[in-house]
């Protein structure tokens, strides 16, 4: 809900990842921020109106992001999505920092405007990676946090790099950051940060979410995996 700068960027990012998207805004002119070839639904109306939400296919939604310019509208819409339509995966944009704790006590993921980014919403809205930690728009290189299949635990960094053709930048182990080499063993609970061309991030995630034995047997499958990731919405 909300087709401002954040909402339109979020819609573009989600559709580029292969997800079906419906975006709601009271002002039909707001949809001009979307690309001309935007494939999702554009629904004009109040975002917490049940009939409007139904027109936006809320009954089939896996997640709901309330990112309009009004805190009250955002929280009401998120509550309707969760309590009326059973969409538990909700993210609420908050302008007034004093309300942040209140909204979180109600069970909503919130991100105050002062630290708001589209990637932070995606991280909350889509539990499965890749989660972009940093993206350099000039070079097209991203630092991503990838979700690992448990079969990768106990394997060296070299195995991940060979399977993905990406570079492991560092590993977060608990509260420590580890600079790694090819022999560093990935442990259960490690958070792996990889450096990869932005357009290959989804393909890298696709490789790492699957069994390590299969990935190593096939060698580098990132190029083909990128197409599969787009098809399945990873």
- 118 and 156 assigned to the same domain: no
pLDDT band at 114 (very low <50, low <70, confident <90, very high): very low
218 pLDDT band, cuts 50/70/90, is low
User: Confidence class of residue 112 from pLDDT cuts 50, 70 and 90?
Assistant: low
Q: What CATH number is given to the structural domain containing 27?
A: 3.40.50.720
Residue ending a domain, among 125, 157, 180, is 125
20 shares its domain with 91: yes
Tally the domains of the chain.
Answer: 2
Q: Which residues contact 72 (CB under 8 A, 6 or more apart)?
A: none
Q: Do 20 and 108 belong together in one domain?
A: yes
Q: What is the 3-state secondary structure (H, E, C) of the chain?
A: CCCCHHHHHHHHHHHHCCCCCEEEECCHHHHHHCCCCCCCEEEECCCCCHHHHHHCCHHHCCCEEECCCCHHHHHHHHHHHHHHCCCCCEEEEECCHHHHHHHHHCCCEEEEHHHCCHHHHHHHHCCCCCEEEEEECCCCEEEEEECCCHHHCCCEHHHHHHHHCCEEEEEEECCEEECCCCCCECCCCCEEEEEEEHHHHHHHHHHHCCCHHHHHHHCCCHHHHHHHHHHHCC
Inter-residue contact 232 to 18 (CB < 8 Å): yes
Last residue of a domain, one of 95, 125, 155: 125
Given 85, 104, 125, the domain boundary residue is 125
pLDDT, one tens digit per residue, over 76-108 is 999 999 999 999 889 888 887 777 777 777 877
Token representation of residue 67: 């990112």
pLDDT at 205: 86
Domain with residue 228: its CATH number is 3.30.70.1450
11-39 confidence digits (pLDDT tens)? 998 998 889 999 999 999 999 999 999 99
d(C-alpha 66, C-alpha 46), whole Å: 12
Q: 51 and 159, same structural domain?
A: no
Flag whether pLDDT at 234 surpasses 50: no
- Say if residues 184 and 156 touch (Cβ distance below 8 Å): yes
Distance, CA of 56 to CA of 85 (rounded, Å): 12
Q: How many CB atoms lie within 10 A of CB 220?
A: 16
Q: Which domain holds residue 152?
A: 131-232
Do 210 and 153 share a domain, yes or no? yes
Residues 100 and 196 in one domain: no
190 shares a domain with 105: no
Pair 31, 107 in one domain: yes
pLDDT on residue 29:
96
Q: Are residues 135 and 214 in the same domain?
A: yes
What pLDDT shows up at residue 122?
65
Separation CA 33–CA 16 (nearest Å): 16
Closest CA to 155 of 223, 215, 195, 224: 215
Q: Are 99 and 65 within one domain?
A: yes
The rounded distance, in Å, linking the Cα atoms of 19 and 41 is 12
CA-based nearest residue to 77, from 55, 44, 102, 50:
50
Q: Are 144 and 132 in contact (CB under 8 A)?
A: yes
Pairing of strands 141-146, 22-25: unpaired
20 and 102 inside one domain: yes
pTM of the entire predicted model? 0.54
Same-domain check for residues 171 and 191: yes
* Interval 153-202: pLDDT, tens: 999 999 999 999 999 999 988 778 899 999 999 998 888 999 999 889 88
């Amino acid at each position: 809900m909300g087709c401002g700068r954040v909402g339109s960027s979020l819609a573009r990012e989600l559709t580029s990842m292969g997800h079906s998207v419906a975006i709601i805004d009271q002002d039909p002119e707001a949809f001009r921020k979307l690309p001309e070839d935007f494939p999702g639904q554009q629904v004009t109306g109040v975002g917490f109106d049940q009939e409007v939400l139904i027109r936006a296919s809320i009954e089939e939604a896996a997640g709901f992001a309330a990112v309009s310019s009004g805190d009250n509208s955002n929280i009401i819409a998120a509550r309707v999505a969760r309590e009326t339509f059973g969409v538990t995966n909700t993210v609420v944009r908050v302008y007034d920092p004093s309300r942040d704790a209140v909204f979180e006590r109600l069970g909503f993921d919130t991100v105050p405007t002062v630290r708001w980014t589209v990637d932070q919403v995606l991280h909350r809205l889509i539990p499965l990676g890749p989660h972009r930690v940093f993206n350099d728009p000039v070079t097209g290189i991203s630092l991503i946090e990838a979700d690992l299949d448990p079969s990768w635990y106990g394997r060296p960094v070299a195995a991940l790099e060979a399977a993905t053709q990406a570079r492991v930048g560092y590993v977060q182990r608990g509260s420590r950051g580890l600079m790694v080499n090819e022999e560093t063993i990935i442990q259960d609970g490690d958070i792996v940060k990889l450096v990869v061309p932005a357009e290959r991030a989804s393909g890298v995630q696709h490789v790492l979410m699957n069994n390590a034995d299969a990935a190593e047997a096939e060698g580098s499958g990132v190029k083909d995996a990128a197409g599969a990731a787009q098809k399945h919405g990873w």
